[in-house]
Protein backbone atom coordinates (compact mmCIF):
# COMPACT_ATOMS: atom_id res chain seq x y z
CA UNK A 1 0.00 0.00 0.00
CA UNK A 2 1.15 3.55 -0.75
CA UNK A 3 2.29 5.92 2.00
CA UNK A 4 -1.06 7.63 2.46
CA UNK A 5 0.37 10.54 4.45
CA UNK A 6 2.71 11.40 1.61
CA UNK A 7 -0.10 10.90 -0.92
CA UNK A 8 -1.98 13.81 0.69
CA UNK A 9 0.70 16.32 -0.27
CA UNK A 10 -0.40 18.59 -3.11
CA UNK A 11 -3.91 17.11 -3.28
CA UNK A 12 -7.25 18.91 -3.17
CA UNK A 13 -9.06 19.07 0.17
CA UNK A 14 -11.83 16.49 0.28
CA UNK A 15 -13.55 17.86 3.39
CA UNK A 16 -14.36 21.21 1.71
CA UNK A 17 -16.21 22.98 4.53
CA UNK A 18 -18.07 25.97 3.02
CA UNK A 19 -16.72 29.24 4.41
CA UNK A 20 -13.71 27.45 5.93
CA UNK A 21 -11.81 25.60 3.19
CA UNK A 22 -8.81 27.46 1.76
CA UNK A 23 -8.71 25.21 -1.37
CA UNK A 24 -4.90 25.34 -1.22
CA UNK A 25 -3.33 21.95 -2.09
CA UNK A 26 -0.02 23.15 -0.61
CA UNK A 27 -1.58 22.90 2.86
CA UNK A 28 -3.24 19.48 2.45
CA UNK A 29 -2.49 16.78 5.01
CA UNK A 30 -4.03 13.45 5.98
CA UNK A 31 -6.65 14.14 8.69
CA UNK A 32 -7.48 10.98 10.66
CA UNK A 33 -11.11 10.24 11.50
CA UNK A 34 -11.47 9.26 15.15
CA UNK A 35 -14.05 6.61 15.93
CA UNK A 36 -14.54 4.46 19.00
CA UNK A 37 -12.83 1.10 18.67
CA UNK A 38 -10.29 2.29 16.10
CA UNK A 39 -8.15 4.67 18.16
CA UNK A 40 -7.45 5.85 21.65
CA UNK A 41 -5.36 8.17 23.76
CA UNK A 42 -2.12 8.67 21.87
CA UNK A 43 -3.14 6.12 19.22
CA UNK A 44 -4.13 7.35 15.76
CA UNK A 45 -6.47 5.39 13.53
CA UNK A 46 -5.09 3.56 10.52
CA UNK A 47 -4.07 5.90 7.69
CA UNK A 48 -6.83 4.48 5.47
CA UNK A 49 -9.33 5.97 7.95
CA UNK A 50 -8.62 9.59 7.03
CA UNK A 51 -9.41 12.39 4.60
CA UNK A 52 -7.26 14.80 2.64
CA UNK A 53 -7.76 18.11 4.40
CA UNK A 54 -6.51 21.64 3.87
CA UNK A 55 -5.04 23.34 6.93
CA UNK A 56 -8.20 25.37 7.57
CA UNK A 57 -10.62 22.44 7.44
CA UNK A 58 -8.21 20.38 9.56
CA UNK A 59 -8.05 23.11 12.23
CA UNK A 60 -11.86 23.21 12.47
CA UNK A 61 -12.28 19.42 12.39
CA UNK A 62 -9.73 19.01 15.18
CA UNK A 63 -11.27 21.82 17.27
CA UNK A 64 -8.26 24.15 17.15
CA UNK A 65 -10.47 26.80 15.50
CA UNK A 66 -14.13 27.35 16.36
CA UNK A 67 -16.79 27.55 13.65
CA UNK A 68 -20.56 27.73 13.26
CA UNK A 69 -20.68 24.00 12.42
CA UNK A 70 -22.06 21.51 14.93
CA UNK A 71 -20.02 18.51 16.00
CA UNK A 72 -22.33 16.26 13.96
CA UNK A 73 -21.91 18.40 10.84
CA UNK A 74 -18.13 18.31 11.22
CA UNK A 75 -18.07 14.54 11.71
CA UNK A 76 -20.24 14.04 8.62
CA UNK A 77 -18.07 16.35 6.49
CA UNK A 78 -14.94 14.53 7.71
CA UNK A 79 -16.44 11.09 7.04
CA UNK A 80 -17.61 12.10 3.56
CA UNK A 81 -14.17 13.57 2.86
CA UNK A 82 -12.64 10.26 3.91
CA UNK A 83 -14.87 8.37 1.52
CA UNK A 84 -14.00 10.76 -1.35
CA UNK A 85 -10.32 10.30 -0.52
CA UNK A 86 -10.70 6.50 -0.62
CA UNK A 87 -12.47 6.65 -4.00
CA UNK A 88 -9.56 8.62 -5.49
CA UNK A 89 -6.93 6.32 -3.98
CA UNK A 90 -8.74 3.19 -5.15
CA UNK A 91 -9.04 4.66 -8.64
CA UNK A 92 -5.26 5.18 -8.63
CA UNK A 93 -4.66 1.64 -7.33
CA UNK A 94 -3.08 2.94 -4.12
CA UNK A 95 -5.62 1.54 -1.67
For residue 72, give the H/E element and its range: helix 71-91
pLDDT of residue 92: 96
In contact, 12 and 52? CB cutoff 8 Å: yes
CATH node for 4-91: 3.30.50.20
Q: What angle do CA 91, 94, 95 make, to 5 degrees?
A: 85
pLDDT of residue 83: 97
pLDDT of residue 38: 60
Catalytic positions, written as ranges: 32
Task: Express each pLDDT in 26-66 by its tens digit.
Answer: 999 999 988 655 666 776 777 889 999 999 999 999 999 99
What's the mean pLDDT in 71-75? 97
Confidence check: pLDDT of 7 > 80? yes
Domain coordinates in residue numbering, the chain: 4-91
Q: How confident is the model at residue 67 (pLDDT cuts 50, 70, 90)?
A: very high
Task: Express each pLDDT in 17-30 by its tens digit.
Answer: 999 999 999 999 99
pLDDT of residue 23: 97
In contact, 69 and 57? CB cutoff 8 Å: no
Amino acid sequence: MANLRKEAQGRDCQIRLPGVCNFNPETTVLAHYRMAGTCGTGIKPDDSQAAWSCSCCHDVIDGRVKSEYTREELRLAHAEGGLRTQVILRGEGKL
